[in-house]
Amino acid sequence: AGEEPDTFFNREFLDRMSVKRSDSEWLDSKQASPDSVFLLFHKLNPLVSSGAGETRLCKLRAPGVQELLKNGDTVVVFLGVERQEKQEKDDDLVAWFALDTEDDPTEFLKTEDPGCFFLPGAMPGLLRLSDDDAGVVAQARSVLAWHSRYRFCPTCGSATKVEEAGYKRTCLRAGCRSLQGVHNTCYPRVDPVVIMLVLHPDGNQCLLGRKKTFPPGLFSCLAGFVEPGEALESAVRREVLEESGVQVGPVQYLSSQAWPMPSCLMIGCHCVALTTDVTADENEIEEARWFTRQQVIDALVKDKRAVFKMPPRQAIAHLLLKHWTGFNANL
């Protein structure tokens, strides 16, 4: 620890304590405990309150979520316990849980703090969270998104039941192939994505692109899903070639980031181009071009000469760019 940047979504405020996921007695007692914290999501958006310029997660307590817990459809995910300076007894640890409700929670909200509301949409809503909260939400939202999309057994189409405190779904059809041996169909999905700053062979320019959906003026690093059977260095070279027509040589891993939309592992790299002609893939990229180091610095410090807008500081693309300019005090 301590060598990595304190990247948004990566902060580990909780200890996942995965050993407790199969201890249903302990989990039951924690779900009943007045000290436990419950985070509520509606359609994957967390319940928050705003005040003093800050957006904070609403920490609900057992009585506040009792009705929701009684509903058999509500998925409850054990997030972990608050990290302690000194070793505590397991019973004294403060446990956190997350639940998602698909139902209209209007009635529920009336009984809670009137300042509470569900963040409207993941982006850019989630970026308003504090670093501690963002780390918790990264975990909670990814697992809840999996439950929302993977209710049925992909192997046979039957219904499934939740196990392991929210980290496993098991097919309910006796005889299903998924019940023999261990298969990824039963476990939450994490999609590895490579995101890369492509450096010009002259060492003084980098390649950025923009999707049609980006805010005006914003350019960011190229990125793409790692495909089956691929090393991440191969994925970097394939995606850059597909999206920009640029051939890439050496790849250097820099750092990674959880990205809970819905459940990506962003793998951030620098890489060096072997060719410089750019032909953007029109299906995905509206425009891709080379920017000089000075242009990136101008965008970073929001100078009035800036010719493009940086990705937000919470995105690993920002870090990859900042690191390259030499403003890397935090890395």
Ligand X SMILES: Nc1ncnc2c1ncn2[C@@H]1O[C@H](COP(=O)(O)O)[C@@H](O)[C@H]1O
Which residue ranges make up the site for Mg ion (CB under 5 A)?
A: 223-225, 239, 243
Measured CA to CA, the distance from residue 105 to residue 118 in angstroms comes to: 10
State the DSSP code for 129.
B
Q: Which amino acid is at 157?
A: G
CB of 245 to ligand X, least distance (A): 14
Cβ atoms within 10 Å of 54's Cβ, excluding its own: 12
Q: Does 155 engage in binding with Zn ion (CB under 5 A)?
A: yes
Of residues 69, 156, 218, 272, which one binds Zn ion by CB under 5 A?
Answer: 156
Give the chain's length. Answer: 331
Candidate residues 112, 131, 132, 284; the one interacting with ligand X per rule CB under 6 A: 284
Q: What is the largest CA-CA distance in the chain?
A: 66
Work out whether 239 is an interface residue with ligand X (CB under 6 A): yes
Query: Looking at 184, 212, 216, 302, which residue binds ligand X (CB under 6 A)?
Result: 184
CA-based nearest residue to 155, from 177, 175, 173, 170? 177
* Distance in angstroms (rounded) separating the CA atoms of residues 221 and 316: 9
Residue number, 152 or 214, with CB nearest to a second copy: 152
Q: Does 245 bind ligand X (CB under 6 A)?
A: no
Query: Is 187 among the residues that bind a second copy (CB under 8 A)?
Result: yes
- Nearer Cβ to Zn ion (158/275): 158
Does 83 help bind a second copy (rule: CB under 8 A)? no
Q: Which is it for strands 95-101 and 37-42: parallel, antiparallel or unpaired?
A: parallel
Question: Omega before 311 cis (within 30°)?
Answer: no
**Euclidean distance between CA atoms 118 and 106, whole angstroms:** 11
Q: How near is the Cβ of 267 to ligand X at its closest, in Å?
A: 12
Token digits of residue 211: 């999707």
CA atoms of 304 and 319, how far apart (whole Å):
21
Q: Which of 109, 162, 176, 280 binds Zn ion (CB under 5 A)?
A: 176
Whichever of 71 and 158 has its CB closer to Zn ion, that residue is 158
Report the residue number, 160 or 295, with the smaller CB distance to a second copy: 160
Cβ 298 to ligand X, closest distance in Å?
27
Of 1, 19, 52, 182, the one binding ligand X (CB under 6 A) is 182
**Phi and psi, residue 84, nearest 5°:** -115, 145
Cis amide prior to 216 (ω within 30 degrees): no
154 binds ligand X (CB under 6 A): no
Distance CA 148, CA 327 (A): 40
Q: Binding a second copy by CB under 8 A: which of 164, 242, 284, 287?
A: 242
Q: Which one of 77, 93, 153, 258 is in contact with Zn ion (CB under 5 A)?
A: 153
The residue ranges that bind a second copy (CB under 8 A) are 1-4, 7, 9-10, 12, 16, 18-19, 135, 138-143, 146, 149-159, 167, 177-178, 183-185, 187-192, 225-234, 237-238, 242, 249-251, 253, 255-258, 260, 262-263, 265, 267
